[in-house]
């Protein structure tokens, strides 16, 4: 491996590797309908998704507590994590098929994804002392595009063997791991943490700029994944349709993938305006969209798609910028731990938010229980100002 490579080349490789590695995240969603038919069970999408999320939360907590991304070479951590996640994902196709086996292996996939997604951001921060917001904009944009991809398959009504889904995503993950492990050396701005320090997490909790950036990120996460998860049902409700069809899936794909573009554009804007402005404007704007939905749950057909596209653009553009603010508020030797820990708590909040929305869905229309997501942006903005002031 070369001792160093240009930052632009590193970013290109990291973005590609991140997209390939996080494809494991969405494999279960794409394969769930076939697994439901195979096992004779329904409702597996939410269960399989929750298994991955719980695995990711457990993994990020483990990685953060042991400061693994700071104590060891992040490129090697990424490579090893990608290989182990790929093995767990592939094993679903060769072990006896049962729900418990699938859930355990998907949990382990999520666990090792903790060494891919936040560690990828850590590697980027080691290459970009300046312009990190732009770099993370492209990085998170790749993840958003991966989130949207299963809906494109549904929209095109493409039928793919569930085993092929797991085989291909496992191969993608190994390729992504190799790109980082053999093509991207540790960045020039990396400072290794010399040893395990059990007091690092309490020390991070005393850092007010870090807490402010994290609070903004948490408010954003409370809204983001619940909006994505229930978007097809919101479209169905607002269009007064009786079922989710291919047009609905196409709308969902376009609205979510618009966020990939906004992450990249927001990153470029941050080069001139700063990450703080991009993050706060985006969080404020998505909060306004929640309020619009509460105040005006019915809107003309011509305005519906435009409104949801605006929301899809704003709801995720703040994610890479809040991560940038997290990285900038901490010493370089603790940056990987901070990013991983903030990811851990943020994704934990997504489970609470999704479950609350799922509970409210039995009593309220989608426009009401999704409109209530405004509590996330409001709390995020207030807490950001409180700690950063």
| pLDDT score recorded for residue 311 | 96
pLDDT, mean of residues 13-41: 85
Instruction: Convert the pLDDT of each residue in 353-375 to its tens digit.
Output: 988 998 898 888 888 999 999 99
Q: What is the CATH number of the domain that holds 121?
A: 1.20.1250.20
| pLDDT score recorded for residue 114 | 93
Evaluate if residue 211 carries a pLDDT over 70: yes
pLDDT, mean of residues 202-228: 92
Do 321 and 266 touch, CB atoms closer than 8 A?
A: yes
pLDDT, mean of residues 379-389: 92
Evaluate if residue 184 carries a pLDDT over 80: yes
| pLDDT score recorded for residue 2 | 55
Instruction: Convert the pLDDT of each residue in 249-300 to its tens digit.
Output: 899 999 999 999 999 999 999 999 999 999 999 999 999 999 999 988 788 8
pLDDT confidence of 349, banded at 50, 70, 90?
very high
* pTM score: 0.89
Mean pLDDT across the chain: 89
Among 283, 74, 306, 52, residue whose Cα is nearest residue 166 = 52
Q: Which residues of 165-180 are buried (b: 16+ CB within 10 A; e: fewer)?
A: bbbebbebbbebbebb
d(CA 54, CA 5): 35
| pLDDT score recorded for residue 313 | 96
Number of domains in the chain: 1
Domain carrying residue 337: 7-388
pLDDT confidence of 196, banded at 50, 70, 90?
low
Evaluate if residue 1 carries a pLDDT over 70: no
Is 1 contained in some domain?
Answer: no
Q: Which two tokens stand for residue 132?
A: 């990190």
Is 302 contained in some domain?
Answer: yes
Contacts for 70-74 with beta carbons within 8 Å, 24 or more apart? 70/122, 70/192, 70/193, 70/333, 70/334, 70/335, 70/336, 70/337, 71/192, 71/193, 71/194, 71/195, 71/196, 73/186, 74/119, 74/122, 74/123, 74/126, 74/186, 74/190, 74/336
Q: How many CA atoms lie within 13 A of 341 on its CB side?
A: 25
d(CA 141, CA 300): 30
More confident residue, 83 or 50: 83
Q: What angle do CA 82, 70, 23 make, to 5 degrees?
A: 20
| pLDDT score recorded for residue 202 | 82
Is 22 contained in some domain?
Answer: yes
| pLDDT score recorded for residue 197 | 67
Instruction: Convert the pLDDT of each residue in 34-72 to its tens digit.
Output: 888 888 887 777 788 788 989 999 999 999 888 888 889
| pLDDT score recorded for residue 151 | 82
Is 2 contained in some domain?
Answer: no
| pLDDT score recorded for residue 146 | 82
Is 28 contained in some domain?
Answer: yes
| pLDDT score recorded for residue 5 | 87
């Amino acid at each position: 491996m070369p001792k160093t490579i240009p930052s632009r080349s590193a970013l290109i490789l990291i973005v590609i590797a991140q997209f390939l590695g996080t494809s494991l995240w969405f494999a279960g969603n794409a394969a769930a309908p076939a697994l439901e038919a195979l096992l004779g069970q329904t409702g597996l999408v939410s269960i399989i998704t929750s298994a991955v999320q719980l695995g990711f939360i457990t993994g990020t907590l483990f990685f953060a507590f042991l400061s693994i991304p700071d104590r060891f070479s992040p490129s090697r951590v990424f490579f090893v994590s990608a290989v182990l996640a790929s093995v767990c994902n592939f094993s679903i196709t060769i072990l006896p098929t049962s729900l418990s086996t699938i859930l355990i292996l998907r949990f382990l996939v999520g666990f090792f994804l903790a060494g891919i997604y936040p560690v990828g951001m850590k590697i980027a921060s080691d290459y970009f002392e300046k312009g990190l917001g732009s770099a993370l904009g492209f990085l998170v944009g790749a993840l958003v595009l991966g989130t949207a991809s299963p809906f494109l398959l549904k929209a095109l009504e493409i039928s793919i063997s569930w085993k092929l889904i797991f085989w291909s995503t496992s191969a993608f993950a190994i390729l992504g791991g190799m790109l980082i492990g053999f093509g991207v050396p540790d960045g020039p701005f990396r400072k290794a943490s010399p040893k395990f320090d059990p007091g690092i997490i309490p020390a991070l909790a005393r850092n007010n700029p870090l807490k402010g950036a994290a609070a903004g990120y948490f408010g954003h996460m409370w809204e983001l994944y619940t909006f994505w998860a229930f978007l097809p049902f919101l479209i169905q409700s607002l269009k007064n349709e009786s079922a989710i069809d291919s047009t609905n899936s196409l709308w969902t794909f376009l609205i979510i993938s618009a966020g990939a573009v906004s992450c990249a554009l927001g990153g470029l804007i941050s080069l001139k305006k700063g990450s703080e402005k991009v993050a706060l404007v985006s969080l404020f704007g998505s909060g306004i969209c929640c309020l619009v939905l509460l105040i005006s749950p019915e809107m003309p057909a011509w305005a519906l798609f435009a409104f949801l596209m605006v929301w899809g653009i704003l709801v995720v553009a703040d994610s890479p910028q809040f991560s940038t603010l997290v990285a900038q508020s901490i010493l370089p030797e603790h940056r990987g731990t901070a990013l991983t820990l903030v990811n851990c708590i943020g994704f934990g909040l997504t489970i609470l938010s999704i479950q609350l929305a799922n509970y409210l869905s039995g009593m309220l229309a989608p426009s009401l229980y999704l409109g209530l997501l405004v509590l996330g942006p409001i709390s995020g903005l207030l807490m950001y100002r409180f700690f950063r002031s």
